Amino acid sequence: MSVQDRIIWQPIHLHQPHHDFDILLDRKFAREMFEAKLIPRMQMRMNELGTEMLDRLRYHGASPYIFWGDTALITQINLDAGRGTWIEMESTYGQIPNWSERKPLKYTTHNMDSSSDTLGLLSLFDMWVYYSSELK
């Protein structure tokens, strides 16, 4: 099944006054990404694509994507590490998510200051999902 055949992710709480928001990620998709083992070169390439996008959006800094070990699952996306602006998987505390639960995984933002920050993180999240079939 391709990502176009189902809803993989959905942003929520975009109305908040401080630009913070959450993303709900389909748990089945997350498990597929967790089970997809990546060689370091693939993770590096994904980070290169993310860095190119950040440059276009006028953000500069560290590699945006943090993967769960050698898998294709993203645990955190950094927009501006110097300001501490990111989105991360919520409530896992370094533990593998419980795949038998039905509810989506939740990602939560930190230190969002502008609508540009929101656009940047949404764009990076969307890019990861867009390229997910290449990562599996």
Q: What is the pLDDT of residue 82?
A: 82
Contact 63, 79 (CB under 8 A): no
What integer is the mean pLDDT of 78-100?
87
Q: Give helix 115-130 / helix 40-56 axis angle, nearest 10°.
A: 150
Entry pTM: 0.91
Q: Which of the two residues, 27 and 15, has the higher pLDDT score?
A: 27
pLDDT for 1 beyond 60? no
Q: What is the pLDDT of residue 3?
A: 55
Q: What is the pLDDT of residue 96?
A: 86
Q: Find where tokens 């401080």 sit.
A: 18
Task: Extract the runs of DSSP E, i.e. beta strands, from 26-72.
Answer: 65-67
Residue 30 CB-density burial (10 A; 0-12 exposed, 13-18 middle, 19+ buried)? buried
Band (13; pLDDT cuts 50, 70, 90) = confident
Q: Which of the two residues, 104 and 3, has the higher pLDDT score?
A: 104
pLDDT for 76 beyond 70? yes
Number of Cα atoms under 13 Å in the Cβ half of residue 16: 17
With the CA atoms of 116, 121, 125 and 126 taken in that order, what torsion angle do they form, in degrees rounded to the nearest 10? 0
Return the structure tokens found at 7. Answer: 């809803």
What integer is the mean pLDDT of 31-37?
97
Ramachandran region of residue 10, left (φ > 0), alpha (ψ -120 to 50) or beta? beta
Residue 41 CB-density burial (10 A; 0-12 exposed, 13-18 middle, 19+ buried)? exposed
What integer is the mean pLDDT of 49-53?
96
pLDDT for 90 beyond 70? yes
